[in-house]
Amino acid sequence: MEAITIILGLAVVLVIGNMLIYRWVVSRAMKKFIRPYFTRIGYEIRQTKFVGLLKTGDFKVAGFPLRPFMPKGNPMQTTYVYLYLSKGSGPQVRITARIDTLFLFIRKVEYSSLPVKPS
């Protein structure tokens, strides 16, 4: 009984830890990379949204996005987030931002190529 309690406690800590890390990475990317870029080109970020656990948004990535090993020895982790943008009072568009991190340091931020109208 004691072992089950410890295992469940560790699982809860892992889930909460992953959620906090996700929020921290997205917050840093928004502050340092995403918001300045879209402000410079005249867009305003209206909302951000979690893409999903196993989804890659508008990026078409083949294969399973979560792997228990480092592909090609690369410890890079990728986070996807939907960005809802508008230019002035124009229509709102949705794009996906892909944030690549290496040991919680943001290495690269990419955006999906075509804006998609939200459904």
What confidence tens digit (pLDDT) does each residue in 29-48 have? Answer: 999 999 999 888 888 999 99
Its pTM stands at: 0.78
What confidence tens digit (pLDDT) does each residue in 69-82 have? Answer: 565 666 678 888 99
Structure confidence at residue 115 (pLDDT) = 56
Give the whole-angstrom CA distance, residue 111 versus residue 35: 12
Enter the tokens of residue 68. Answer: 């228990």
Domain ranges in the chain? 2-111
Tell me the pLDDT band of 66, cut-offs 50, 70 and 90. Answer: low
CB-side neighbour CA atoms (13 Å) of 24: 10
Structure confidence at residue 59 (pLDDT) = 78
- Do residues 95 and 116 touch, judged by C-beta distance below 8 A? yes
**Which residue type occupies 69?**
F
